[in-house]
Amino acid sequence: MSPTLKDVSRLAGVSTATVSRFINGSHQLSEGTALRVQRAIDELGFRPNSLGRSLKTASSKSIGVVIPTLSNPVFAEAVSGITAVASDSDYSIMVTATEYSQDQELKVVNSLLDRQVDGLILTVTNANNSPALDMLEAESVPYVLIYNQATLNNRPVVTIDNVVAGREVAFRLEELGHQHFAMLSGNLHSSDRAAARYQGFVQGLAELGFDAPLIQEIEFSQPNTSAAIRELFADPLQRPTALFCSNDLFAIAAIGALRELGLKVPEDVSVVGFDGITVGSLVQPKLTTVVQPSTEMGAVAAKELINTICGEAPQSPLVLPHKVREGESTGPAGKHEPVALQEPNPTKFFPKETL
């Protein structure tokens, strides 16, 4: 539970009115009294603007937006939707990135609260276990999640069903005749979305009578796609013919890494991405991917947040539809003789990929 004004006054040995005067700077305090109050605030971790938030009546007309990274276009699409709705309602936005760090989430949320935002739209590492969200709820700060998988405690979220989407990928690949599967994913502990997609993929394969797929996890911020692909496809006798990637940027990089190894897409390996970013339809072969309605997701989240700021109860969860966009990176499973992998070119550039 967050410390209160009374907790600070008790520890400092002064009245709550004195603490209030110190925080608001409305009256000059003696140096000794001011020092005791400041020490109590620091020791308890009391947020001075919590008092200001409880007393203020005016809105700052600003919204904080917390996303994992600025490198992935999928988040830019969501921010575009947020910006449009916020602008129509005369709100400004402040965007921050956390690089998939739960500790950083808490820091940037603290920073946004210090700037007196009226509410926040966030994508966090794990919506079921989030100190940042716990703090927002303790301080009664309106917020809405985007992209995160719907939570056990019904935290307000606008998302798709990542488990269902992962399951659909499994069924689609089986329809094409594939029997050997693999997944390239960002670290599952860093993204509840990636974990849900993997869960759905495993569930779908199990329903079809297949074992769990091979999986390689890579860092979101500094991924080594080439090494991960080489590991997944090292054994020519157990080589996957279908690869599901937890985001489109991983999938695009994986196609390049497979090409470096002498494997063709989709003749030797079918590749499916996730997100539906525009660049996926511009590469060759065009990427087959699960499309999230990211711009709509951001717009709906902004509407929900503004309604909550205005006193309405949030609707939760709001699960939007996704779709599979067929491209040229998937095809029927072929019957190819095992081939020796080529040595990769260490100077080859693969794009930095993040979700």
Confidence of residue 332 (pLDDT cuts 50, 70, 90): very high
Each residue's pLDDT tens digit, 267-282 = 999 999 999 999 999 9
Same domain, 268 and 177: yes
* Amino acid occupying residue 318: L
β-pair type (62-67, 242-245) = unpaired
Which is more confident, 233 or 151?
Answer: 233
Mean pLDDT computed over 178-203? 97
CB within 8 A of 194, min separation 6: which ones?
185, 186, 187, 188, 246, 247, 355
Lowest model confidence (mean pLDDT) among 41-55, 130-144, 215-229: 41-55
Same domain, 170 and 288: yes
Q: Is residue 168 part of a domain?
A: yes
Q: Is residue 131 part of a domain?
A: yes
β-pair type (288-291, 323-325) = antiparallel
Beta strand residue intervals within the chain, DSSP E: 62-67, 92-97, 119-122, 143-146, 157-159, 181-186, 214-218, 242-245, 270-275, 288-291, 318-319, 323-325
Q: What was the pLDDT predicted at 349?
A: 39
With tokens 């949030």, the residue in question is: 314
Q: Is residue 67 part of a domain?
A: yes
Same domain, 153 and 271: no
Q: Enter the tokens of residue 89.
A: 């309602």
Total structural domains within the chain: 3
Q: What is the 3-state secondary structure (H, E, C) of 215-263?
A: EEEECCCCCCHHHHHHHHCCCCCCCCCEEEECCHHHHHHHHHHHHHCCC
Each residue's pLDDT tens digit, 241-264 = 999 999 999 999 999 999 999 999
Same domain, 312 and 202: no
Assess whether pLDDT exceeds 90 at residue 34. no
Q: Mean pLDDT, the chain, as a whole number?
A: 89
Q: Given CA atoms 240, 220, 129, 316 in this order, what sign does their dihedral have?
A: negative
Assess whether pLDDT exceeds 70 at residue 340. no
Q: Is residue 210 part of a domain?
A: yes
Same domain, 145 and 167: no
Q: Which of 242, 272, 292 is the last residue of a domain?
A: 292
Q: Is residue 230 part of a domain?
A: yes
Other CB atoms within a 10 A radius of the CB of residue 138 amount to 11
Answer for the pair 151, 141: CB distance below 8 angstroms, yes or no: no
The dihedrals phi and psi of 144, each to the nearest 5 degrees, come to: -140, 135
Same domain, 49 and 106: no
Q: Is residue 333 part of a domain?
A: no
In the sheet with 288-291, reading across from the earlier edge strand, the strands are 214-218, 181-186, 242-245, 270-275, 288-291, 323-325
Domain enclosing residue 144, as ranges: 62-160+294-321
Other CB atoms within a 10 A radius of the CB of residue 281 amount to 14
Each residue's pLDDT tens digit, 56-77 = 546 789 999 999 999 999 999 9
Same domain, 219 and 275: yes
The dihedrals phi and psi of 164, each to the nearest 5 degrees, come to: -60, -40
Same domain, 233 and 317: no
Q: Is residue 127 part of a domain?
A: yes
Each residue's pLDDT tens digit, 73-112 = 999 999 999 999 999 999 999 999 999 999 999 989 988 9
Q: Omega before 285 cis (within 30°)?
A: yes
